[in-house]
Amino acid sequence: MPEGIEVEYYRQGAEASISRVIESLVVDDLYYLKGETTPNKLRKALIGNKVLQARRIGKLLLLDIDGEDTVGLRFGMTGRIIVDNKAAIEYLEFSSDRNDPKWDRFIVNFDDGGSMRIRDPRRLGGVELNPDVSQLGHDLFSITIEELSQVLSGSSRPIKARLMDQSMVAGLGNLLTDEILWRASIDPRRPADSLDEKTTRSLYKHFKKTIEELATLGGSHMGTLQDHRISGGFCPKHGIPLERYKIGGRTTYSCPEHQKR
């Protein structure tokens, strides 16, 4: 599914829409409109106006429109952004290989003949006008060590659940979180507030490095642990079987040898 890294690629792709005049919208899928959003409100906010800026907080893409409105785009499990028929990412873990226009849930047509569309087979994403962003935590690209430390010390829940809580850290999903904890040698079930200062520093270092590295390599699925996230998978460091269990409903893999509880 798209995690913060993928949505950052989408944001970069959406920059191609900046300063172009919006001529029309296709918003036939009412289920895809979230909150108070209606086709009429969207048309009023967008048509005849331009996208000024493409921002991102965690997994939420925000398009600021001249006229003071903001369009929020969420991508769920399988959503992608396609600008002028070019996808910001061709490959998406867990999404369909097929590329069917009938999965277009929201289309913005520009007056120059181009378009920006959200293609989402499973339809778990959404479009929301002026979404409330006050509940989102620190963005995964910009979080500081002080902020991470505060997030961890505030709860004795399993550290993985705490890191994936979007109101604490915005943008981490299942793959990134398992990869970071595996690299930092921390058991995902360990209470968040049990880390000492040294371990927190080490976690922060691995956190930043993982995001930076996977963003360069091409996405959340490019981690070292990824190919071993299968039943019977082995720790790439130790060659011993990984443990597999659920935290907060999400399938989790960790190494019983080097990830400390």
Residues that bind Zn ion (CB under 5 A): 235, 237-238, 255, 257-258
Residue closer to Zn ion by CB (options 181, 255) is 255
CB burial readout 184-205, b (16+ within 10 A) else e = bbbbbbbebeebeeebbebbbe
Residue 114 region, left (φ>0) first, then alpha (ψ -120 to 50), else beta?
beta
CA–CA dist 69, 71 (Å, integer): 7
Give the residue with the Cβ less far from Zn ion, 155 or 224. 224
> Cβ 172 to Zn ion, closest distance in Å?
21
Residue number closest to Zn ion, CB atom: 255
Q: Nearer Cβ to Zn ion, position 233 or 248?
A: 233
Between 141 and 234, CB nearer to Zn ion: 234
Q: SS3 sequence, 136-175? A: CCEECCCCCHHHHHHHHHCCCCEHHHHHHCCCCEECCCHH
Q: Which is nearer to Zn ion, 86 or 209 (CB)?
A: 209
| Burial (CB count <10 Å: 0-12, 13-18, 19+), residue 231 | exposed
Q: How far is the CB of 220 from Zn ion (least distance, A)?
A: 20
